[in-house]
Structure 1
Amino acid sequence: MFDLTGKVALVTGGASGIGLAISKTFAKQGAHVHILELNIDLANQVAADIKSEGGSAEAHAIDISKQADVINVIDEIAEKATINILVNNAGIAHVGKADNTAETDFDRVINVNVKGVYNCLFATIPHLKKAGGGVILNMASIAATVGIPDRFAYSTAKGAVFSMTLSVARDYLADGIRCNSVSPARVHTPFVDGFISKNYPGQEAEMFEKLSKTQPIGRMAKPAEIGALALYLCSDEASFITGCDYLIDGGFEKLNN
């Protein structure tokens, strides 16, 4: 089950955190993974690690906020192979409310988390249509559907990703393209550790504990757990699933009462 042998998968932000787990999980299951990353050195290292473990991967430098960049990279990949899977994982976070989020910060979050997803959809969907179908998985968040304190720009962006998922799923039914999203709660990645250090200096241990306990299950998710759900949704075993958002939140949305 969940065999991706012969499949070609694009994973944005595929060299760290959740994206890294997805890249490694897909490669382990036989996919040829294209890691689309701003940090090309890190992407090259991850591709090398995957190959050393018997998998197949390539690294590509890309700024997903720039459409011409995205089109060039994805068209180049499509010239050599049929694209089967797109995982829109890359994203950035921001702390702030509506009245203290600077315009530059708001624009930065929207450019990466919303426009970046749009750019990848715009560039990839024509290739999936030409291939007779495929799978798109977008990384949304519980912030799309639950009020999270001090996450105005991030919640706005993830709400857009949630809605784009439904729109794409509906528009391309006849083309054999499935589109779903995953909405994690907090996931323990190096990004989270850096985020806590930057925004809560001197309170790292206290904030880590506090953020962990906001999940009723008592801890943050592991990246590999998100990778496993992504694998299922992008596999043939999930061929009857489209237009859905999957919570993976340790009970955050339904059990915090």
Structure 2
Amino acid sequence: MEKVNYFEEVEKTLNISFNDKELIDTALTHSSYANGKKGVKFNERMEFLGDSVLQLCISEYLFLIYKSKSEGELTKKRSLIVCENSLYEVAKKWNIGKYIKMSKGEEITGGRERTSILANCVEAIIAAIYIDSGYKKTKQFIIDSFKDIIEKAIKNQIVLDYKTNLQEIVQQDGDIHIEYMLIKYEGPPHRRKFYTKVCVANNVMGSGVGYTKKESEQNAAQDALKKLKSEDKWNKEGIDTNEK
């Protein structure tokens, strides 16, 4: 992709223009790409700044909008909005993974889909906008970008621990057995990918993939929750416990 078209496409995706194109270029450069290249800047320092700006903008927004909520309630809501999963959701909405500059090795091992890389990139983009355009414009960008997530947080529709949530749902009418089983793993020792399935009362209810066992189990639980809801099994009668 030509550099001019690259910047134009990124700006169109984000619906924002940069005065200093180098800022967004740095925000989209992973450390693996800069390794061994003299003078190439990468986004780790910008992640640090972007995290702080995001925290402040969301804190201010919640403080001003929800005047009756306590400090504890506001903190809980903010933690749901400003977390890796939420940042990842925003990154996927932008399809930002396709624009990140990274090494071939990082790309081959799934870097363009990796939760941490995408989440960190969102923070770096926020920092780039803050440096380039100031606080007011950055705050509006954040509120617009995180609008759906903010609404879900306020309505208590964001779940961080899918395993616990699944357990609460399926065991509401009794001690129904839940088991997470590692199906396989692949890849080099430093970048293993794990595949897990979750069984509820001996029925396979979901599957998940992750770069740690914990992540794959959480994704399997999330998959199971989606299926339970779509199959209309999420009701007062509980889950069919007949073995298949």
Q: Same fold (TM over 0.5)?
A: no
TM-score normalised by structure 1 residue count:
0.24
Structure number, greater radius of gyration: 2
TM-score scaled by length of structure 2:
0.25
Q: Which has the higher contact order (CA 8 A, sep 6+)?
A: 1
